[in-house]
Chains A and B, each alone.
Chain A
């Protein structure tokens, strides 16, 4: 996936300006930055939910091969877990029987065997997130876009789901572009991290390679010798961006 000089504006106000991001096949890339830096807008532009002001987006795969995992699980409340997972398969012309068989398989893979007939309301936040993940993975995406998908989960559930997601995307060779506020999450999961400056007119200021080998356990990756220095560098650069923005705001006043 290749994004070149992407600019996005809301009501004439440029949020993101000249952003370029690249995700190679099978690579896990994260976008981090302060709130309002246009991270989610960039993802939305890649999947076609946001029209860019300028720049180009080349997903590198067919639109049907892109999956998106939102911050909110956004499951249809009137459909069971199985029917929610089968939904995308149904849209792709899969027979009902085959869609349900595949839905059961993916629910099992994300650890929800026995929960197929539950409605979203009767599932926990972590279980709903797993259903949303199964819904996307069932479509066998080659590129997975994730917009802070773990933000609403408590620490233990979050750690378990992150581990499962990392292992699933590694096994399936899926390219991932993750938007997150969490620097630890970004480093432990990614091969490369992009840092966005404070918006409006946010831009990509830095790109960091993560030298932690794969296959990788995201929890154990935090104890790798390369983790702490990279975390400190990212934290320092991010703090610098926020401080710069505060100075600009004070000068404007």
Chain B
């Protein structure tokens, strides 16, 4: 029953994960893997514990969170504004669409060194990278979404006596909110990618900076610990975004 019942799936997954950790730990202790490249889970756990025990992780978490969340907020706001303008004003679309298409086509993290040169190694260059990653995704979500808005809803509002403002308020804005919330997890992922890559390229604080430091000192235990930490942080934000999405899109 435990092996097949769907209710026990989390227990089975945890058990499998635990067994994998035990095999990994044993392989490290019996020198089956080189600890320089693959440190044992206990060493990774110890590195993670040290980060929190001496409190030196907090300024780095603060820097990464600030850069990611400010970039996310700005990216969503500007992406929505540009997407709405482009969808409703054709000349704006003519100007913006090629630029956004170009930005979408390239791996935007290549802009990180340029932002460091332009804005320095402090917060601004990380915010800029997170912002550009998020804004392009949100722009296309909103721009494409508004152009494909359900014509029946538009006609419904018109036949009920609504004008342009009522259309924006009751059809376009809720549609935009639904599309943006549907892409919120992608945007969160991009925001943290931007912040971490920006810190990796040039910074004095942040999880990306710590990763760069761990790499330069061949401290793979710290590197694994940081990767694990970033995964946990992003998963927690994903969960929060999921709850927000479920609450705001409860009509779906």
Contacts and interface: CB of A to CB of B under 8 A. Distances in A.
A74 B171 CA distance: 11
B155 to A, nearest CB: 6
B107 interface: no
A79 B252 CA distance: 10
Interface stretch (B89-97, B108-116, B124-132, B160-168): B160-168
Contact of A74 (B152, B170, B250, B251): B152
Contacts, number: 50
Contacts of B166: 91
Given A76-B170, A76-B174, A77-B252, A88 B161 contact: yes
A77 B162 contact: no
Interface residues of A, number: 24
Nearest to A49: B155
Contacts of A70: 152, 155-156
A92 interface: yes
A78 B155 CA distance: 16
A47 B170 CA distance: 21
Given A74-B152, A78-B174, A87-B170, A121 B159 contact: no
A74 B160 contact: no
B219 to A, nearest CB: 50
A49 B251 contact: no
A49 B159 contact: yes
Sort chain B's interface into a size bin. Answer: 10 to 19
Contact of A47 (B153, B159, B171): B159
A96 B170 CA distance: 15
Given A76-B174, A87-B170, A49 B158 contact: yes
A196 interface: no
Contacts of A66: 159
A64 interface: yes
Contacts of B160: 87-88, 91, 135, 139
Nearest to B252: A121
Interface string B159-187: 11110001000110010001000000000
A76 B158 contact: no
A72 interface: yes
A67 to B, nearest CB: 8
A76 B160 CA distance: 12
A68 B159 CA distance: 7
B251 A121 contact: yes
Interface in A179-205: none
A150 to B, nearest CB: 17
Contacts of B159: 47, 49, 66-68
B178 A78 contact: yes
A67 B156 CA distance: 10
Interface string B132-155: 000000000000000000101101
A115 interface: no
A146 to B, nearest CB: 12
Contacts of A63: 161
A119 interface: yes
Interface string A195-223: 00000000000000000000000000000
Nearest to A80: B251
Given A49-B158, A63-B161, A139-B160, 5 more contacts: A66-B159, A77-B251, A88-B161, A119-B250, A120-B251
23 contacts: A47-B159, A49-B158, A66-B159, A72-B152, A74-B150, A74-B152, A75-B156, A76-B153, A76-B156, A76-B171, A77-B251, A78-B251, A79-B170, A79-B251, A87-B157, A87-B160, A87-B162, A87-B170, A88-B161, A91-B160, A91-B162, A92-B161, A139-B161
Interface of A: 47, 49, 63-64, 66-68, 70, 72, 74-79, 87-88, 91-92, 119-121, 135, 139
Interface of B: 150, 152-153, 155-162, 166, 170-171, 174, 178, 250-252
